[in-house]
């Protein structure tokens, strides 16, 4: 018989290894049989609670790894919206407008907006050509905004000229408006400023 090798073990998994291990177990059984019937212990061998605890930890760790691998593809992340942009205040700027399929012309827009959460309201004006000159055309504003994108409606005194679903986008401190509908095309970029700045831009656009 060969000489027993040192056993490699851990606190959780005491191993019986080496060529002498089966022989040692068999010899132990023979010695016990020569002493007579073995008595049944009611107390578990020392180290059993530690072994059970370690096995439970390994099983829990394995279950966590399996869940992470199997569930990785099914994780849904809700895109994060970093708050709603504050567009309250006065805005003005120049853009273009025109009928569908027709030539475009310049237009100057002014907005005075009030914001309550995602709800928008206020008033506005468009400086546009009329006959051989130009004029200011007032309207009321209603709409909503979520994050940095919204939609507004312009309601002038003449209800037949209501413009709905004007897209609003906030970026870099500017307000971009765009519309493409049955009554025509419109697009402009507004910056914060007073009504007097709007009037000055209107006069320079239509001298």
Domains and CATH numbers, the chain: 21-71 (no CATH), 89-205 (2.40.128.120)
Number of other residues whose CB lies within 10 A of the CB of residue 98: 14
Number of other residues whose CB lies within 10 A of the CB of residue 161: 12
Is residue 200 helix, strand or coil? helix
Determine whether 121 is exposed, middle or buried from the number of CB atoms within 10 Å of its CB (0-12, 13-18, 19+).
middle
Whether the predicted pLDDT of 132 surpasses 60: yes
pLDDT, residue 19, reads 40
pLDDT, residue 40, reads 40
Q: What is the pLDDT of residues 43-66, one digit of tens each?
A: 555 555 555 655 555 555 555 544
Long-range contacts of 158-161 (CB under 8 A, 24+ apart): none
pLDDT, residue 61, reads 55
- Please give the biggest Cα pair distance in the chain: 125
Whether the predicted pLDDT of 78 surpasses 80: no
Q: What is the pLDDT of residues 3-23, one digit of tens each?
A: 444 444 444 434 444 443 333
């Amino acid at each position: 018989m060969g000489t027993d090798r040192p056993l490699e073990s851990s606190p959780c998994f005491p191993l019986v290894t080496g060529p002498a291990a089966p022989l040692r177990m068999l010899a132990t059984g023979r010695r016990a049989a020569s002493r007579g019937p073995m008595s049944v212990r009611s107390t578990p061998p020392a180290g059993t609670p530690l072994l059970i605890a370690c096995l439970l930890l390994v099983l829990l760790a394995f279950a966590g790894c399996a869940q992470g691998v199997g569930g990785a593809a099914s994780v849904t992340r809700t895109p994060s919206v970093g708050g709603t942009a504050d567009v309250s205040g006065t805005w003005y700027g120049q853009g273009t407008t025109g009928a569908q399929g027709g030539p475009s012309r310049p237009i100057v827009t002014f907005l005075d907006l009030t914001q309550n959460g995602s709800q928008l309201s206020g008033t506005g004006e468009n400086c546009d050509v009329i006959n051989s000159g130009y004029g200011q055309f007032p309207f009321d504003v209603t709409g909503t905004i979520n994050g940095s994108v919204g939609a507004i409606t312009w309601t002038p005194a003449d209800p037949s000229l209501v413009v709905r679903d004007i897209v609003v986008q906030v970026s870099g401190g500017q307000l971009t408006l765009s519309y493409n509908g049955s009554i025509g095309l419109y697009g402009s970029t507004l910056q914060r400023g007073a009504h007097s700045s709007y009037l000055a831009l209107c006069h320079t656009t239509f001298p």
